[in-house]
A and B are shown apart, each in its own frame.
Chain A
Amino acid sequence: PAEHSPSLAGISRVPAEHSPSLCILADSREMCSGPEVLSCLRAVHGLRVQVCSLGTSDYIVSNRLAVDRVLQSELQSPGNRNKLSQRLQRLQGVFERICVIVETDRVRPGETSRCFQRTQYYDGVLSALVQAGIRILFSSSQEESAALLKDLALLEHRKDAAIQVPTEPQGHQRDILNFYLSIPNLSYAAALNLCHSFSSITAVANSSVPALAAGARLSRPQAEELHRFLHHDFDLQLLPQPLPAKGK
């Protein structure tokens, strides 16, 4: 009983031969922490949800927007401050736009509804997010979070930033995607775009900054960073010693 919201009907005007519906990338951890978000996105809103190991953010909604789901209680406790700020700082290196969905904690069965005590610390965190230009949305449940993700995806689609490429590369393409994913500060969406827009890694390596920006749907500074990486001269002396253990 996929009940498509009426607003999704307008999408067909875009000549997208691959994606009949909007696409969202979800981090694999969300299968445990937000199962209802994922099922709502699929069943209620009719979105294509691709679960993959994003590492950086919980969701990637478009070529430039990452969304993190944070529980209200996490914003309340100063103990989480470092973890949260490191995570968001990393996101800022990778994405043009970041949004945080602050979700009310679920009341477990048998637990009386805890009264939310607003602390000065909590207000400080919100203020810092506002100042950092991070968009904040509030949600009272996983279902509501799913609706917000859909709204964001729709908005990004209207601004022509939606993810329009196939999200499940096979075989050789898979290896190439893994290569792109190892490039620092390159998002999963940008790596997918590189796979799709360029015939080979060599083609990417030989591309100019504007061509990279167009092909990977990156902003100019991000494309410059990618270009620098591809042309960076390796210097053995700069490798931290001892060599970091690989793949653990």
Chain B
Amino acid sequence: PVTAGSIVVPYGHVIGNEKWRGSEVAQRLQGKVRLIFEDGLGLVDFHLSNRTCILLISEADLVAGDEFKRRLVKFRNASSLRGIVIVEKTKISDQYYVGVQKFVVLELGMVLLPVANQGEASQLIVQLVSFCVVREQSRDRGANPFLGKRRAAAAEPALLRAAQRVPGVGKTKALLLLQHFGTIHRLCNASVQQLERVVGQTGAQQIYSF
């Protein structure tokens, strides 16, 4: 009953729950993605990939009460898939949105995206497919503008800036100190005498006490 488990989604396809056949979402998706209908997807409405799936909550679901919450909790408990919840946020269902968001995002820790109607939902699904599936599988991670590229910037300018935060130390003294001691660690452990050789008596005392 709770087939939230693994399902194999062929590359570039979306597997839709049989119950959406003929619906507006399905009609609009057709032509943009290759949509296959399958029976017995259980709780899930659309599978975008082997890992990512979509649960659609309609305006009617929201107004009808808490049934959709039970469905989400069941999904959350039964599956390790990443579930993206798309909810129809209309003039009528707007009043429920705050509560739904609190429940889905803060309590269940799932992704929640509002749309105004089924047409918008299909447009969003197309973009999700493009980002979450196509780019994920082509390992083209650089294409996502929000994924940090971990490049190590040279630490030297930062070290210089840090050394200048020590009271009484400007750019010249900071450079001298860093050239002489090399690391913040060694600078911290330097004695007054060692510091004196670089920056003179008053400066040394100031740095040492800092």
Q: Are B132 and A234 in contact (CB under 8 A)?
A: no
* A14: interface (CB < 8 Å): no
Q: Are A206 and B185 in contact (CB under 8 A)?
A: yes
Chain A residues closer than 8 Å to B154, beta-carbon distance = 238-240
Q: Are B148 and A93 in contact (CB under 8 A)?
A: yes
* B24: interface (CB < 8 Å): no
* A92: interface (CB < 8 Å): yes
Q: Are A126 and B127 in contact (CB under 8 A)?
A: yes
Partner of A201, one of B98, B161, B188: B188
Nearest chain A CB to B178's CB is how many angstroms away?
A: 4
Partner of B153, one of A134, A138, A184, A239: A184
Q: Are B188 and A206 in contact (CB under 8 A)?
A: yes
Q: Are B102 and A151 in contact (CB under 8 A)?
A: yes
Q: Are A155 and B189 in contact (CB under 8 A)?
A: no
Residues of B within 8 A of A (CB-CB), count: 57
Q: Are B144 and A138 in contact (CB under 8 A)?
A: no
With A205-B185, A243-B171 as contacts: A127 and B130 at CB distance below 8 Å: yes
Question: A226-247: contact bitstring with B at CB < 8 Å (1 yes, 0 no)?
Answer: 0011111111101110011010
Q: Which of A89-132 contact B (CB under 8 A)?
A: 89-90, 92-93, 118, 120, 123-124, 126-132
Question: A67-103: contact bitstring with B at CB < 8 Å (1 yes, 0 no)?
Answer: 0000000000000011011001110110000000000
Chain B residues closer than 8 Å to A90, beta-carbon distance = 148
* B105: interface (CB < 8 Å): yes
Question: How many angstroms between the C-alpha atoms of A65 and B111 in the bound complex?
Answer: 17
Question: How many angstroms between the C-alpha atoms of A176 and B127 in the bound complex?
Answer: 47
Question: How many angstroms between the C-alpha atoms of A186 and B167 in the bound complex?
Answer: 21
* A175: interface (CB < 8 Å): yes
Nearest chain A CB to B99's CB is how many angstroms away?
A: 11
Q: Are A244 and B105 in contact (CB under 8 A)?
A: no
Least CB separation from A175: chain B residue = B167
Least CB separation from B97: chain A residue = A138
* A137: interface (CB < 8 Å): yes
Question: How many angstroms between the C-alpha atoms of A234 and B154 in the bound complex?
Answer: 10
Question: How many angstroms between the C-alpha atoms of A147 and B98 in the bound complex?
Answer: 10
Q: Are B166 and A182 in contact (CB under 8 A)?
A: no
Partner of B158, one of A88, A124, A129, A184: A184
Q: Are A175 and B210 in contact (CB under 8 A)?
A: yes
Nearest chain A CB to B44's CB is how many angstroms away?
A: 17
Residue with the greatest number of chain B CB neighbours at <10 A, chosen from A130, A152, A178, A206: A130
Q: Are B146 and A234 in contact (CB under 8 A)?
A: no
Partner of A127, one of B132, B187, B188: B132
Q: Which of B17-52 contact A (CB under 8 A)?
A: none
Chain A residues closer than 8 Å to B182, beta-carbon distance = 233-234
Chain A residues closer than 8 Å to B120, beta-carbon distance = 118
Q: Are B105 and A246 in contact (CB under 8 A)?
A: no
With A118-B120, A233-B182 as contacts: A202 and B188 at CB distance below 8 Å: yes
Question: How many angstroms between the C-alpha atoms of A135 and B101 in the bound complex?
Answer: 12
Question: How many angstroms between the C-alpha atoms of A55 and B120 in the bound complex?
Answer: 35
* A43: interface (CB < 8 Å): no
Chain A residues closer than 8 Å to B179, beta-carbon distance = 234, 236
Chain B residues closer than 8 Å to A126, beta-carbon distance = 113, 124, 127
Interface pairs A-B: 7 shortest CB-CB: A85-B145, A92-B148, A127-B131, A123-B127, A132-B146, A234-B178, A205-B188
What are 7 A-B residue pairs whose CB atoms fall within 8 Å in the complex? A127-B131, A130-B132, A201-B184, A231-B184, A233-B182, A234-B178, A234-B182
A contact set with B: CB distance below 8 Å: 81-82, 84-85, 88-90, 92-93, 118, 120, 123-124, 126-132, 134-138, 144, 147, 151-152, 155, 175-176, 178-179, 181-184, 201-202, 205-206, 228-236, 238-240, 243-244, 246
